[in-house]
Amino acid sequence: MEKILTVTNLTKKFGYLTAVKNLSFSIEKGHVYGILGPNGSGKSTTLGIVLNVVNRTNGEFSWFDGNISTHEALKKVGAIIERPNFYPYMSAVQNLKLVCKIKEVSTGKIEEKLKLVGLLERKDSKFKTYSLGMKQRLAIASALLNDPEILILDEPTNGLDPQGIHQIREIIKKIAAQGTTILLASHLLDEVEKVCSHVVILRKGEKLYSGRVDDMLASHGFFELKTADREKLTTLLKENTSFGEIREENGLVTAFLTEKMDAGTFNRWAFDKGIVLSHLVKRKESLEEQFLTLTKNESN
Q: Which of 5, 7, 19, 145 binds ligand ADP (CB under 6 A)?
A: 19
Q: Which of 40, 118, 221, 244 binds ligand ADP (CB under 6 A)?
A: 40
Part in contact with Mg ion (CB under 5 A); list of ranges 4-12, 40-48, 67-75, 156-164: 40-48
**CB of 47 closer than 8 Å to CB of 154:** yes
Buried b (16+ CB within 10 A) or exposed e, 81-117: eeebebeeeebbbbbbeebbeeeeeeeebbeebbebb
Size of the site for Mg ion (CB under 5 A): 2
* 30 Cβ neighbours under 8 A, 6+ residues apart: 2, 179, 181
Q: How far is the CB of 36 from Mg ion (least distance, A)?
A: 12
Rounded (10°) CA dihedral 156, 162, 166, 168: -30
Is 290 a binding residue for ligand ADP by CB under 6 A? The answer is no
Buried b (16+ CB within 10 A) or exposed e, 186-207: bbbbebbbbbbebbbbbbbbeb
**Smaller CB distance to ligand ADP: residue 19 or 225?**
19
Q: Which of 4, 25, 32, 44 binds Mg ion (CB under 5 A)?
A: 44
Part in contact with ligand ADP (CB under 6 A); list of ranges 40-48, 158-166, 173-181, 279-287: 40-48
Q: Under the rule (CB under 6 A), what is the footprint of ligand ADP?
A: 14, 17, 19, 37, 39-45
